[in-house]
Chains A and B, each alone.
Chain A
Amino acid sequence: MSRKEKNINRIIFIVLAILAVIVMVPVVMMVLGSFKTQAEASQFNLALPTEFHPENYLYVLKKGKILNGYKNSLLITIPAAFFSIIFGALAGIVLSRRQTKLTESIYYYFIFGLTITLQTASTFALFKVLNIYGTFFSIICLFVAIRLPFTVMTFSSFVKSVPRDIDEAAIIDGCSFLQMVFRVLLPVMKPILVTNIVVSAIDIWNNFMIPLFFFGSSKKWTVSLTIYNFFGQYSREWQYVFGALTLTILPMLILFLFLQKYIVEGMVAGAVKG
């Protein structure tokens, strides 16, 4: 690298570093604010707290029902991600490996689903008619249905790059179809599997709309809803709001830092495949 180029890179670094600090300002304000007194927290600045109040968190944990929110979010995210991936993989593999008129039409039927938007009123009616309104089951089914077009599409396009010889070898060795998929194909397709796990989990976990529309009872609220409601109740006591927000964000940020490679690659690959 030439001297001139090095200097340019240094200037770019300084500009980007300043930008990065600005990007982080909201998060810094939140973490600092969560340790402040009510008066200091509602001044909304980046000053360090003059008195340190970690007990704010105890209050939030007791009153905020954040842990209950976590439990509910997990109860929805894990089964919804799991079933959308398993059903999507099975369908994607069959649709891609069997090239018939029928499979082609079914493939496009799923692809059309990528642009379907949430039909609030009639989904509500459907849940009522099936008598499952307000249950975890109904929400999980809805998430699976919404995620399926993406999983079907990604698995179906990825399995094309897996040689058919592998399938044939597995069958000759006496595998059934399901054994072939779960013991042979899915392990080979690990990259797209990881992509789908990451994209589905983040998408379902962060979704605010569906639990808001279709959960009547606050006992079943997910983290996002719990936090929104907590803010509504405590909008004057920002030290608690900041504490609740930190408790919501922190686990996700830690998870993100550890799984960063998979998350970034997964989401980007997902977007490019989508």
Chain B
Amino acid sequence: MRKKSVYPYWALLPALLIFTLFAVVPLIGSLIFSFSDWNISRFYTPQFRGITNYISLLSDSVFLHSLWNTFLFAVCTTALKTAAGLALALLLVRRIPANNLLRTVFYAPCVLSVTVVGVLFKAILSKTGLLNNALTAIGIMSTTDWLAHYGTAMGAVVLIESWMWAGFNMFIFISGLQAVPKDYYEYASIEGASAREKFRYVTLPLIVPSFTVVITLGISGGLKVFDIIYVITNGGPGFDTQVLSTYVYQSFSLGYLGESAAGSVILCLIVTLVSFLLNKLLVNKEVEA
């Protein structure tokens, strides 16, 4: 007879039940209802409509534009956050005065709530905001309303998101850099490697795991972005800075539940696929120290 295990299966139940009911069931619901004419007036009596919702989404120029914006946002913020985080980390692993204080300041923005950050930057980027005041003070007359044009609005949101998370990535890179054994650098010095060669052939290959974390988190978080866009531009001007999450929310609040569900399914598919592929790709590049 098999001995009864010390680790009972019932301990899995609370987690399994809640996760299934509130995360998996809605996903299955979205899949099913995305093929129906589900809307607020036929809330309990949706009818099967085939792939009509998907077709109408993919032929909606606002949806396609929001799809493009989503990828643009994810890629640009990831690139900026990664580059800025790595630069800060490389500078702050040195013995700089007030090292800890500087790290704290760069890290702090990411614990702030996005709403607060959003409202603050509205004050900075408006027509009479801090940025224009500062530009005028140094002699460049500027009355641009930074959030009223697609290019500057998108750029602003990307920069703000990077401002928030660069310090977080800095810490991930610092812990990666500190794990590189010191004698590798000494050995490279003996071999006559220059500072640049040391970085290229010693540091970079050994901090690939940090890149894996930073890039995967950045891309998947960027694809899911909602609040910073909603608070700062609300998808505007017009629908110019709309991303997938805000699009889904908008069609939800207009009562087009079937279309909203189809949008959610598309977003979820993209995030799952991209995170999976990215992780595979990056993990393959990792080497043993």
List chain A positions with a Cβ less than 8 A from chain B: 1, 9-10, 12-13, 15-17, 19-20, 23-27, 29-30, 33, 42-46, 83, 87-88, 90-91, 93-95, 97-98, 106, 110, 112-126, 128, 141-142, 144-146, 148-149, 152, 167, 171, 177, 180-181, 202, 205-206, 208-209, 212-213, 223-225, 227-228, 231, 238, 241-242, 245, 248-249, 252-253, 256-257, 260, 263-264, 267-268, 271-272, 274
Contacts and interface: CB of A to CB of B under 8 A. Distances in A.
A123 B22 contact: yes
**Which 10 residue pairs spanning A and B have beta carbons closest together?**
A122-B29, A145-B22, A91-B15, A119-B26, A115-B272, A87-B15, A145-B23, A121-B260, A90-B11, A224-B115
Interface residues of B, number: 88
B7 to A, nearest CB: 4
Given A91-B16, A272-B172, A115 B271 contact: yes
Contacts of A256: 108, 111
Contacts of A9: 94-97
A167 to B, nearest CB: 7
B239 interface: no
Interface in B208-227: 209, 213, 217, 220, 224, 226-227
Interface stretch (B56-64, B120-128, B139-147, B197-205): B120-128
Contacts of A119: 26-27, 29-30, 261, 264, 268
A90 B281 CA distance: 32
A121 B15 CA distance: 23
Contact of A144 (B18, B97, B268): B18
Q: Which one of B5, B117, B245, B264 has the highest number of Cβ atoms from chain A below 10 Å of its Cβ?
A: B264
A245 B258 CA distance: 37
B96 A16 contact: yes
Interface SS of B by simple majority: helix
Contacts, number: 260
Q: Which one of B111, B209, B213 has the highest number of Cβ atoms from chain A below 10 Å of its Cβ?
A: B111
Interface stretch (B73-81, B99-107, B185-193): B99-107
A122 B248 CA distance: 12
Nearest to B210: A272
B109 interface: yes
Contacts of B257: 121, 124-125
B104 A116 contact: no
A44 B123 CA distance: 7
A94 B106 contact: no
13 contacts: A30-B120, A44-B123, A46-B130, A87-B18, A90-B11, A91-B11, A118-B245, A121-B30, A181-B11, A202-B111, A208-B227, A253-B111, A264-B107
A232 to B, nearest CB: 10
B35 interface: no
Contact of B213 (A23, A26, A223, A271): A271
Given A1-B95, A94-B11, A208-B231, A44 B43 contact: no
A61 to B, nearest CB: 17
